[in-house]
Amino acid sequence: MSIKTLKSRFDGTIVFNCPGCKKIHQINVDSPRMRDEKLVIYSFNNDHLMPTISPDILRKWWKSGTNGCCHSKVMNGMIYFFPDSTHDLSGKTIELPSFTESKIRYWTDNPDDYLINK
């Protein structure tokens, strides 16, 4: 089994490994708090093996005097990086990486839901 997204321990969110900026992206899919704050609520197909998330995901940062941007779209277990992304995968499409067992145990309250070797 190749788990690519997880329902996170944080209310109404999922997480995935981003191979572009090499960070975990946490996405709000059903968070009442986020809805109350009028922040983006993403749609998710509830398939942790072949996830599709929309709309596209834009993360920006400022670090050590440099602007950074990770702009992506997740479809059918693949991640496409828009050309405005500032990392090496800009303009490319690759398979969304899977979670390791230790990351599954860290990010979710119910790791046994995702692990095949209990």
Better-scored residue on pLDDT, 16 or 118: 16
Task: Please check the confidence at residue 2 and state whether its pLDDT lies above 90.
Answer: no
Q: Any idea where the domains of the chain sit in the sequence?
A: 6-113
* d(C-alpha 64, C-alpha 43), whole Å: 33
pTM: 0.81
pLDDT given at position 36: 61
Which of helix, strand or coil describes residue 100?
Answer: coil
Confidence of residue 117 (pLDDT cuts 50, 70, 90): very low
- pLDDT tens digits, one per residue of 47-92: 988 999 999 999 998 877 888 999 999 999 999 999 999 999 999 9
Stretch (H or E) spanning 57: strand 53-63
Average pLDDT score, the chain: 83
Residue 73 corresponds to which amino acid? Answer: K
Task: Please check the confidence at residue 45 and state whether its pLDDT lies above 70.
Answer: yes
